[in-house]
């Protein structure tokens, strides 16, 4: 009998995933990952991980499977938290959920599980795994979950063939309502539990509050840039090559304070991210202000009025070779090659038509339509139909 170790998070998805694995005849063991216990930063006095680990234990008891807790907070701090602050200080916006999967659940956690004799590791993600044969080799596919509202393939966009080989996603064929229905039938304590919000480690803490405790506040100015500035002229210059054009389309505009007017003050540019509207505290504009860029070196936030402001839109982005990842290594592009794909630059965004262009030092992703708030440090993921084949960090 094959042994599967499932990450029980104390939520409804992993609870039902555990049950489905039992139904499929696996020997199932539940493991709860404790990722965080620095009480100095839990702002509310609730301690969510205790409630969650308790719920996970009750579910394991109800299903009659062995259960234990593993403390991964040290690796978590090193691989996720430190990385995040490092990124914020560089003025980039990291995605902790994608990293948590790559570095913790499917790496540190997976190694523990395999040491415990597991054949597979399972999670409650809404995605599916496919297997195809190519030149006599098994190749694993990462496929979108059946529930379009809940598809979480994007969060797994950094997984490798080796990680996928050992992974199972039992609820990928189900919709959320079906999952809740199974949990209710089994009378699981997690059946009506709300989906967890916030980072996968800080519990019920909002990211800016968490950052504020860790990064020192530093007063700076908020500058409003008018949308009719000449830097936004959509007249494209003449290009000698496709690569030159892509470099132009994905360029970062070099904002200077004298391009606009000072409209307010902020407590630190590193707390803000492109496309953000809340938290600026500047009133009196016809349309709300959106962050169009942050300059962490000079500590300046650049904003523009309205969500149609040209400073928010770009048609292309660049991923450097170091930050380029192919889930399907067999589909990797060589220099000069292109591929028509569907892509997204954030979770829950509808897939958009795009073309990949591989160049010497990385890869351009060129969209058919303008994209709002392409954010450095976030992940772009590309798909062929419902299969996620690769991803990269937007540079």
Does the annotation count 200 as an active-site position? Answer: yes
Tell me if 253 sits within 8 A of 190, measured CB to CB.
Answer: no
Q: What is the CA radius of gyration of the chain?
A: 23
DSSP bridge partners of 211: none
Q: Which residue has the tokens 């040491």?
A: 115
Q: How far apart are CA 270 and CA 64, in angstroms?
A: 47
Among candidate residues 47, 127, 157, 200, the one labeled active-site is 200
Q: Residues 47, 100, 127, 157: which is the catalytic one?
A: 100
User: Residue 253 to residues 51, 258, 288: CA-CA distances in angstroms?
Assistant: 46, 14, 21
Tokens standing for 106? 């499917």
| Cβ atoms of residues 369 and 249 within 8 Å | no
Q: How far is CA 268 from CA 89, 94, 151, 212, in A?
A: 10, 17, 34, 9
Residue carrying structure tokens 């959920």: 97
Whether 100 is a known active-site residue: answer yes
What torsion, rounded to 10 degrees, do the Cα atoms 62, 65, 68, 70 define?
A: -110
Q: How far apart are CA 339 and CA 355, in angstroms?
A: 6
Buried b (16+ CB within 10 A) or exposed e, 325-356: bbbbeeeebeeeeebebbbbbbbeeebbebbb
Dihedrals phi, psi of 15, to nearest 5 degrees: -60, -50
**Which residues are designated catalytic?**
100, 200
């Amino acid at each position: 009998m094959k042994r599967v170790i499932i990450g029980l998070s104390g939520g409804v998805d992993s609870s039902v995933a555990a049950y489905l694995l039992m139904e499929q005849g696996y020997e199932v063991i539940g493991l709860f990952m404790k990722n965080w216990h620095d009480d100095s930063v839990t702002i509310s006095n609730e301690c969510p991980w205790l409630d969650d680990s308790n719920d996970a234990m009750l579910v394991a008891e109800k299903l009659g499977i062995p259960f234990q807790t593993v403390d991964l907070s040290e690796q978590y701090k090193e691989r996720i938290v430190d990385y995040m602050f490092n990124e914020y200080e560089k003025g980039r916006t990291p995605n902790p959920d994608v990293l948590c999967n790559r570095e913790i659940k499917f790496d540190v956690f997976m190694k523990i599980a395999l040491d415990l004799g597991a054949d597979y590791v399972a999670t409650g993600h809404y995605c599916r795994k496919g297997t195809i044969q190519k030149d006599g080799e098994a190749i694993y596919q990462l496929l979108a979950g059946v529930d379009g509202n809940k598809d979480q393939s994007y969060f797994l966009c950094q997984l490798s063939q080796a990680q996928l080989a050992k992974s199972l996603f039992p609820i990928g064929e189900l919709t959320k309502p079906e999952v809740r229905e199974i949990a209710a039938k089994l009378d699981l304590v997690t059946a009506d539990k709300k989906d967890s919000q916030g980072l996968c480690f800080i519990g019920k803490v909002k990211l800016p509050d968490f950052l504020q405790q860790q990064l020192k506040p530093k007063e700076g100015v908020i500058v409003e840039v008018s949308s009719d500035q000449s830097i936004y002229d959509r007249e494209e210059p003449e290009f000698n090559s496709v690569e030159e054009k892509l470099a132009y389309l994905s360029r970062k505009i070099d904002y200077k304070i004298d391009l606009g007017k000072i409209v307010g003050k902020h407590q630190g540019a590193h707390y803000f991210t492109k496309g953000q509207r809340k938290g600026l505290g500047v009133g009196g504009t016809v349309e709300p202000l959106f962050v169009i860029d942050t300059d962490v070196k000079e500590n300046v936030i650049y904003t523009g009025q309205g969500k149609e402001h040209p400073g928010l839109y770009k048609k292309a982005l660049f991923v450097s070779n170091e930050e380029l990842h192919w889930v399907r290594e067999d589909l990797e592009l060589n220099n000069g090659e292109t591929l028509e794909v569907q892509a997204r630059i954030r979770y829950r965004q509808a897939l958009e038509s795009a073309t990949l262009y591989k160049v010497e030092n990385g890869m351009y992703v060129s969209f058919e339509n303008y994209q709002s708030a392409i954010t450095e440090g976030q992940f772009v993921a590309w798909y062929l139909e419902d299969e996620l084949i690769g991803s990269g960090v937007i540079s």
